[in-house]
Amino acid sequence: MMRNNYEQSAQSRLISRIQEIFPMNEEEVKVFSERIIVKHYLKGDTLISEGQTNDKAFFLIDGLVRQYTLKDGKDKTVFFYLENQMIRLLEKDSNQDKSSYYLECLENSTICVAYSRPDDEEFIKKYPRFQTLCLILMEDIFKQSQN
């Protein structure tokens, strides 16, 4: 897959961030990089809407993303994702594959779409060490939400 300079830069920033918390060898960087898609979103774009399939993990390179829900017709902000943060929506029911939330870009944003759940299971079987990375990233999200 041919990437432009901006996409390569975004991917490199993600890899650098991951390497800070989870050192990878050259082969691991290569297989991890092959799974990353860099996308650009405009302010106001929606990444996920309530009811859509929720099977992606994102990593926000540049921009600002808001997670919200609608309760009794009212918009309730749940969380703000800042640059260099992973975005992974967790549902109340772990078997639920439809989102209960919306993800909206509050600024023009560059986002790496890292994987989908079916791909993730296959990838972890092939490269079990990456399960540790998943746990580290989830712990990071938990810490950020508490802060």
Residue predicted with more confidence, 138 or 83 = 83
| pLDDT one-digit tens code per residue, 88-101 | 887 766 556 788 89
Could you tell me what percent of the chain has a pLDDT over 90? 31
Q: How many CB atoms lie within 10 A of CB 44?
A: 10
Specify the pLDDT at position 114.
72
Cα–Cα separations (whole angstroms), residue 118 to 44, 47, 87, 121, 125: 29, 19, 17, 5, 11
Specify the pLDDT at position 96.
65
Cα–Cα separations (whole angstroms), residue 119 to 55, 79, 112, 115: 10, 26, 15, 6
Specify the pLDDT at position 18.
86
Which of these ranges, 90-94, 96-100, 112-116, 124-128, has the smallest mean pLDDT? 90-94
